[in-house]
Structure 1
Amino acid sequence: MLTLTNEVRTLLADIEQLSNKRQRLLVDRNCFSSRGTDAGVPARLTMEYFRIFEFGISPNLVQQQETFLRSIMTAQTAGPDYAGVEAVIMLWKRFTDFYVYSRYELLSMSVSALADSTVVVMETNFHIRCCRDGVLALYPGLHYNMEQLQKVINSVLVVPVQYRFEFDSDGIVTWFSADWDLVTALNAIVPLVDAARILADANISKTGQIRSRIEDIRQACTVQDGHGGSTEQQAVDPRHCVDFLLS
């Protein structure tokens, strides 16, 4: 009788252990059951992204930040003008060459499910301040307007940025994009016409991509041609065009 009792206890313990394992598997396999809500895994991963990068790349957190990005993005993660997690990491690292301060302010989040994908759209304000040479490298037109240059240097720009994350059923980001409203940010400190002119030859795109290199910062204060012109004509985003903005 004692032996039978012990066997029953052992079986009950095994059943409980198997039940716990089954529950964990159900959670793992159905982690996207609430994916279309702000309590789902995609929403939580998005919130974690902004928590980790609230103040940009940090020397104390850089390893954790890179590990996190590589855990949710892959070489196949696409963007409007970049591809792969390494490109996203490099973009963040390049920010530190130009910006002396950055902070995210989260405004709203919307989550929607589409087939096997989940889309998370985050509305944010990105507070940034550039170093002087960084400003000149990003906005070369300010070489010729010291008053506006000082305004930009002495101001914290508040850039409305809309981020879009698309997750697959495994919780991996397949699409990551940002839409920077630089016109609104600059228009807060200079007239709209001047904001458009500053952005006409800017070395930063609507997606936040920095076209300048670290070498360009060192060359930001070199001798100019005296005509305010550039030997190389850059493509201008029509949304930064004066006529477009005033139409």
Structure 2
Amino acid sequence: MPPQPSRKPTGTRLAIPLVLALLALPLVTAAHHSRPAPFGDRLTVHARVDDQNPGAEPVEPALRAKGRAVEAYDVGSGEPRWTYTREGRRPLRLLAEPGHAFTLWSDGLVTDTERAGGGSVRWHRAIPESAPWLRTAAARGGAGVLQPLSAGARMLAVVTPHRIAAYRAADGDLRWVLPARRGCAFEPARSLRREGALLVAQPCAGTTTSWTSQVIAVDDYGRIVPGRTPLGNGDLERGRGGGSSPEN
């Protein structure tokens, strides 16, 4: 009777794939942790608010640009609470509002960070055609680009030469866009607030354009024009839905 070929026990055959899977698990885990953060984000919390002032009413930190970082720090002690950096980028402008830390970055990205404790970066929004302009002297380092549109900064306007875009602060939702008139350009640094309206200069190359068309007034619903009937900006507190449709 010819000899029968030897067979490995069934348990051994099952164990080999299991061992290989266990050996591969640390490699998979390491690969997961080594993935780069979206947008090059690095958010570091240094001190919790309740650790610094147990039982006291929390006071939101102040903001400053320190080197290539946004730093939130305690107003009384000067100690940092959290630091936010983005790889290869630097913050140009900061806007501190209740609950929000808005930042304009050198690559034209706008971010909103949870201000009190630095718990998260809520949203990122890329502003079209802004990065090359921000590198020019005409941009004045992003002066006037970030503008609150309503009480408590429920809406944020981002003003660049080509357009004004309004975002809902809670989630970064784009509510309306107002393009500059043809042959004209917005100047963010030449803006002021008057009785709830944001006035932005829009100088034009031609001489036939009236001076009234070279100053644009907007609020959280869009451009302010006589007889407008805005549809709303999605603010649940006002009980309205939809987005406004500003005319140029």
In which range does the TM-score fall when normalised by the shorter chain?
under 0.3
Q: Which has the larger radius of gyration?
A: 2
Q: If each structure's strand is expressed as a fraction of its own residues, which one has the higher value? A: 2
What is the TM-score normalised by the length of structure 1? 0.27
What is the TM-score normalised by the length of structure 2? 0.27
Higher relative contact order (CA 8 A, sep 6+): 1
